[in-house]
Structure 1
């Protein structure tokens, strides 16, 4: 199964860069990267040392509801190209210590029994397994250490 990975939508990233309030109703905070682990949730790459970035509360769901988690994410403060979903998993997600995969239904609610902690090397296979279920519409990949949203995975 081919996977389509995507980060924060470009229109939303542009709105935050222009000063839109985040999911908590606060303006994004502006910082400068030290180059140590500041992953942009739009381009799905890293913010390089010395580059400005935003930190904000993000809700990767269309509307608030009990399962619509809100959490902190980083975003390049300057425009960056969106990750192209057809490119599959970003290189950064193919290595490392592990992530959480979680399935969601068409109603944007967690499909119970789909939450898995997986090694980065196993993300593609585990994602394909979960997406083979008819009750799973899409997945979120999250940090295993902090539960922060990393990216969305759909069937390609």
Structure 2
């Protein structure tokens, strides 16, 4: 099975960069990256030291509901090239492990799928989850701070 790693929704990213409200209706905070652990959820690379960045509340789900987790994310303040979905993105190589969870098509956690997964096993575990009936996508979060990193889906080639 081929999978794709998705950047954060481009319409939302553009909205935030233009000063629009985040998941809590607040404008994104502006800061300067120190280059350490500040992964942009659009290009899926660490924001370089000295670069302007945005910090905002994100809910990568279409509607508020009990399983629609909200948390902080970083974005390059200036336009960047959204990740193309190919191989394991750079932001998933900077920690020894990540939390992966399978979700149904109605955006509900599929119980029993949440697992802290070694970085080297992300692709294999995501493929295993996506091969199961009832799992529409897999979200990757920080294993330490629970911050959303990226969404993994089946790729139709």
Question: TM range, normalised to the smaller chain?
Answer: over 0.9
CA distance in 2, matches of 1:20, 1:57: 12
Give the TM-score normalised by the residue count of structure 1.
0.96
Superposed CA RMSD in Å reads 1.0
**Number of the residue aligned with 2:106:** 107
Q: 1:85-122: per-residue Cα shift (whole Å, max 9, x none)?
A: 2x132134245310000000011010111101100000
**Number of the residue aligned with 2:66:** 66
**Number of the residue aligned with 1:131:** 130
CA contact (8 A) 2:39 2:91 kept: no
Question: Is the partner of 1:109 in helix, strand or coil?
Answer: coil
Give the TM-score normalised by the residue count of structure 2.
0.96
Change (3 A) 1:69 1:56: same
**Number of the residue aligned with 1:31:** 31
Runs of 4+ in 1 over 6 A off after TM superposition: none
Q: Aligned runs of 1:8-27 on 2, under 5 Å? A: 8-27=8-27
CA distance in 2, matches of 1:92, 1:62: 24
CA contact (8 A) 2:42 2:83 kept: yes
Count of residues in Structure 1 that have an aligned counterpart in Structure 2: 155
CA distance in 2, matches of 1:97, 1:65: 31
CA contact (8 A) 2:35 2:50 kept: yes
CA distance in 1, matches of 2:104, 2:68: 12
Shift of 1:11: 1.6
Change (3 A) 1:39 1:95: closer
CA contact (8 A) 1:98 1:119 kept: yes
